[in-house]
Amino acid sequence: MTLRKRDFPEVGELVIATPVKIYDHGAYVNLDEFEKVGYVPIGEVASTWVRNIRDYIKEGHKLVLKVIRVDEKKGHIDLSLKKVTDRERKEKLIQWKRAKKSEKILEEVASELKKSMKEAIEKIGIPLEDRFGDLYAAMEASVINGPKVLIEAGIPEDWANKIYEIAKHHIEPPIVKISGVLTLKSTKPKGIEDIKTALLLGEENENIEITNLGAPRYRIEVTAKDYKTAEAILKEVVDKIINKITELGGVGSFTR
């Protein structure tokens, strides 16, 4: 789903559709991303024999369909339900919901800046879509890194600041979690205290959670915005802890 409106979808494209008329021979659907009506023949509803088409298609219920034929001259668009995999359906729905959310945010931004939605789409939405792949990705980037990423993409400062201000209330920044197990041992008289001292180096980081699995094993979990950052944090903290326990006369190891 893009802000650049097209007259017709392409063959092979996944589309969001709303069934409006259902017959024994097939169903007519409104294409939510196009101002068009498409048709799902009964043979494209399921891979097995369809006793009742309404078991698969219900009026008003959103569907993810695959375009199998387009005749622009006649205005005909044929669609398939059976050719859509579960993974394709899930990914398309996520993409569509993200697009709807980002458009709502852009509409709110335009309203607060007293601009028209047409201007917002042409001046802000489409350029961001071209730069980031889709509008939601651009807004997500601003939530993570601040309005500067939008300004660097050529967006006027007032628009960038307002997008960030509104988007941060509607978009949760993505997070990833990675973990591993630390094994810390010490036979020194103050060995237990030494292990606690070493572990404190990890607990100083707000992105780190350390759980006692039963001495000498400790689970260490890192939360970050992406895997690269998480791996860097994990390595830094694990190295600090192992170096500390070694310095205090103990031994340490780490496994994933």
Q: What does the pLDDT read at residue 203?
A: 81
pTM above 0.95, yes or no: no
Write out the residue range of the structural domain in which residue 229 sits.
176-255
> pLDDT category, 226, cuts 50, 70, 90?
confident
Q: How far apart are CA 129 and CA 204, in angstroms?
A: 39
DSSP assignment of 128-161 equals HHHHHSSHHHHHHHHHHH-THHHHHTT--HHHHH
Q: Is residue 1 part of a domain?
A: no
Domain end among 167, 192, 224: 167
What angle do helix axes 86-112 and 135-145 make, rounded to 10 degrees?
Answer: 70
Residue 182's CATH number: 3.30.70.1130
> pLDDT category, 206, cuts 50, 70, 90?
confident
Domain end among 116, 140, 167: 167
Asked whether residue 162 falls in the same domain as residue 188, the answer is no
For the stretch 83-141, pLDDT in tens is: 999 999 999 999 999 999 999 999 999 999 999 999 999 999 999 999 999 999 999 99
Q: What does the pLDDT read at residue 175?
A: 83
Q: What does the pLDDT read at residue 1?
A: 59
Q: Which two tokens stand for residue 126?
A: 């489409």
Residue 114's CATH number: 1.10.150.190
